[in-house]
Structure 1
Amino acid sequence: MTTAVTIAPPIVPIDAVELTRELIRRNSVTPADGGAMDVVQRALEGLGFACRRMKFGEIENLYARRGLQGPNLCFAGHTDVVPVGDEGAWSVGPFEAALKDGILIGRGAVDMKSAIAAFIDATAQTLAAGEPRGSISLLITGDEEGIAVDGTKAVVAALQAEGEGIDHCVVGEPTSSATMGDMIKIGRRGSINATITVEGRQGHVAYPQRAANPVPVLIRYLAAVQDKVLDQGYQGFQPSNLEVTTVDVGNAATNVIPAQATARVNIRFNPGHTGASLAQWLTEEGEKAGAGFAGKVTVKTHISGEAFLTAPGDFTEVVAGAVKAETGVEPDLSTTGGTSDARFIRALCPVVEFGLVGTTMHAVDERAPVSEIRTLTAVYKRLIADYFAKFG
């Protein structure tokens, strides 16, 4: 009697640099996809991943998983990129993915197509050596650089509703500051935007009694919120800061009191605040500034993310240990910088961020040394092995 034996197909090798180049050649300026998600899906299906395209609005997203058992280690990233700016200022075409003297140049080389490719390469090497004691998944979006409504935020909500279990996540943002491996992000400050609109009554500057000038009201408001010291910092976080980002009146005349004045402010806040508490404060300041004014003050707020922290522990030690082992650098555990999709993923599981040196992200001639892409691949490979040795 002969027993049939099922032989798993061989793991298709992945080269992180060539995969990054293939991704860069896809013009995926938010919200366009340009075929980038297809590239990722083909690579993952070649490694035996079950891939789900999760499209929300016009945004392409992908959730891929290999394995059914826990723990589930997830990698998150984005294929979308920012606009190239002045294309004539680039030394090469921003979507050519040119290699010059060991440097890969192109939009997304740093932020963050290389990290996606490096993790897929690391996963391929891991699987070629045997199955991990758990699952590996990837959550890839095309909406990180945009308004971030139909991307990771929507995917996380859908996965939560389905009861999908993700135990820990690594986001591939370019977190290294000056040297490869010098920084890991374990938290981020929150962000809230506010638009302040003061509606008055237009009139002649020589007859102010016949008008209601909105500009002094707006000035009082901005002075009040700018002068307030929000805090002195929070454990592991820098102080919160409020910045005025624009003031607009649109008055071309010198002898006319305008009818309306607007401004926008942004607050980056630590866990000493919530978005709701800051929104309430900004609204109350609007009421104070408009007291006695023969017009209207409106404050509209939008909370794009709350502050969060992944407390140092076993997971952060695994990530930091992999970084040090492959780079020789002891990474700082940091909460500095802007926002990322980690702010949404933390609703599912503990999350940290690690990737390339980010000095050229969003810049003309965005570039990454091939050697650093190889090092990032090695870090991710060791991270996967150490993670399942610890938690599997």
Structure 2
Amino acid sequence: MSRTLQLAEQLISRPSVTPDDAGCQQILGERLAQLGFALETIESGPADFRVTNLWAVRRPANATDATCSKTLVFAGHTDVVPTGPVEQWTSHPFTPTHRDGKLYGRGACDMKTSVAAFVVSIEEFLQGTPDPKLTLALLLTSDEEGPGVDGTVIVCNALVARGEVIDYCIVGEPTAVERCGDMIKNGRRGTMSGKLTVKGVQGHIAYPHLAKNPVHSVAPALADLVALNTAGGWDAGNDYFQPTSWQISNFHSGTGASNVIPGNAVIDFNFRFSTESTPESLQQRVHAVLDAHGVDYTLAWTVGGLPFLTTPGELVTSVQAAIADETGIATELSTSGGTSDARFIAKICKQVVELGPVNASIHKIDEHIDVAEIETLKNIYKRTLDRLEASLAR
């Protein structure tokens, strides 16, 4: 059994459902301390939702190297989503189990294998390069799968406050489609939600002239908003991003009785938007549509994250080359999918990519990863370290 697999199984066996780290970061910290990393635990959140964050950093041994060093951060999370009905799992979700060449367990893909691969790739890198010019760091949180307000963003704010500079960051989110390395994320769309409350007047359905139906009032406006999803109505996207999309997630109205006109309607919706739009421009357009239809409403906005993009440069080139050397794959750059903690890191680091295992089983019953790809992922991380170190030596 490889060291990466051993560590991955050790982490999977810990029931670290958000926000409980369940001792994962202690296991990792002990190994990193042996490599000369300075460890800092940053806790955040209320007593009933206490989040554990780990910032671990190893700087060059002498001042000369430090002045010309660049910092690479491996970023990830030790928390996992709830298991769902345990009886529906073929094997217990927190008992690492092998079947047909696959490792099963909650977090096998998202993302305890990536975290294990981070650490072992660093161990192997330092064996071959004991005094690197590269500054190495890990940023781990137990609040990625939860609200995300006491996790990575807290660490990023602390780093900014003390003047820490991050040059490169690799986030271990599962990004592959069919094989490890076939896709990496060099950006993500922004996310913005709205809660629209349409005001009406409740009344008997047999006397509509004495009431005002909010569903009827808002329906034409909703049709216009839906129509903007076609033909690049919000924006046309660009070479890196799909066009912006607007989707209704929930629609609540009525008392449950069939003879009562509702007094209001509450509609939850979400934008996933490209760099061609801003939160302000999208908000203005929604308000303009609602106002044009004379809808009586209130609207509360929540910006969950801004879009970010890492154009091809040192980090993207190094990762692409590492994947090609290890797998022979010409990796695809993509900005598809949901959000991740990379949205926080991108605010303080210009070069951020996401690279991890195949994402087909994440958050599912019987989450699993191909055992053979665990070493592939670790080797890609190690090759990337080697390439970035070599660039500093030139």
Label 1:148 to 1:286 Cα distance change in 2 as closer, same or farther (>3 A): farther
Q: For the residues of structure 2 that align with 1:225 and 1:157, how far apart are their CA atoms?
A: 36
Matched, 1:230 2:234: yes
| Number of residue pairs the alignment of both structures matches | 375
Aligned counterpart, 1:96: 95
Q: Which residue is 1:245 aligned to?
A: 249
Q: Which residue of 1 aligns with 2:300?
A: 300
Look up the match of 2:14. 26
CA deviations on 1:279-337 (whole Å, 9 max, x unpaired) are 33333433334x2x6xx411111111111110112221111000111111110111111
Q: Kindly report which structure 2 residues correspond to 1:136-285, keeping only aligned pairs within 5 A, or say none.
A: 136-228=136-228, 229-285=233-289
Is the contact made by 2:197 and 2:298 (CA closer than 8 Å) also made in structure 1?
A: yes
SS in 1 for 2:51: coil
Cα distance in 2 between the residues matched to 1:353 and 1:391: 22
Q: 1:218 to 1:37 in 2, by over 3 A?
A: farther
Match of 2:53 among 61, 65, 68: 61
Given that 2:254 and 2:263 are in contact with CA atoms closer than 8 Å, whether structure 1 keeps it comes out as no
- The separation in 2 between residues aligned to 1:284 and 1:82, in whole angstroms, is 39
1:117 match = 116
Correspondence for 1:9: none
Aligned to 1:367: 368
Is 1:389 the counterpart of 2:390? The answer is yes
Match of 1:76 in 2: 75
Structure 1, gaps ≥5 residues long: 1-13
Single out whichever of 215-224 and 366-375 deviates more from structure 2: 215-224
1:370 and 1:360 map into 2 onto residues whose CA distance is: 14
Shift of residue 19, structure 1, vs aligned partner:
1.1
Q: TM-score scaled to structure 1, two decimals?
A: 0.92
Counterpart in the other structure of 2:318: 318
TM-score normalised by the chain length of structure 2: 0.91
Distance, in Å, in 1 between the alignment partners of 2:267 and 2:87 is: 33
Question: Structure 2: which amino acid aligns with 1:357?
Answer: V
Is 1:49 matched with 2:50?
no
Deviation at 1:250, TM superposition (A): 4.2
In structure 1, the residue matched to 2:379 is: 378
2:32 corresponds to 1:40:
no
- Distance between the aligned counterparts of 2:285 and 2:154, measured in 1? 29
2:260 counterpart letter in structure 1: V
Deviations 1:33-74 (A, max 9, x none): 222222222222232211111112121111100115221111
Aligned 8 A contact 1:286 1:298 in 2 = no
Q: 1:218 to 1:33 in 2, by over 3 A?
A: farther
For 1:284 and 1:44, how far apart are their aligned partners in 2? 54
1:86 CA displacement: 2.3
Q: Give the distance between the partners of 2:41 and 2:96, measured in 1 at CA.
A: 26
The answer as to 2:348 corresponding to 1:333 is no
5+ residue gaps, structure 2, are: 61-65
User: Aligned-pair RMSD on alpha carbons?
Assistant: 1.6
Q: Structure 1 segments of 4 or more deviating over 3 A? A: 283-289
Contact 1:287 1:297 in 2 (8 A): no
Q: Which residue of 1 aligns with 2:63?
A: none
Instruction: Give the distance between the partners of 2:142 and 2:219, measured in 1 at CA.
Output: 39
In 1: Cα distance, 2:309 partner to 2:110 partner:
22
C-alpha distance in structure 2 between counterparts of 1:308 and 1:384, whole Å? 23
Separation in 1 of the partners of 2:27 and 2:221?
50
Q: Secondary structure at 2:287's aligned position in 1?
A: helix
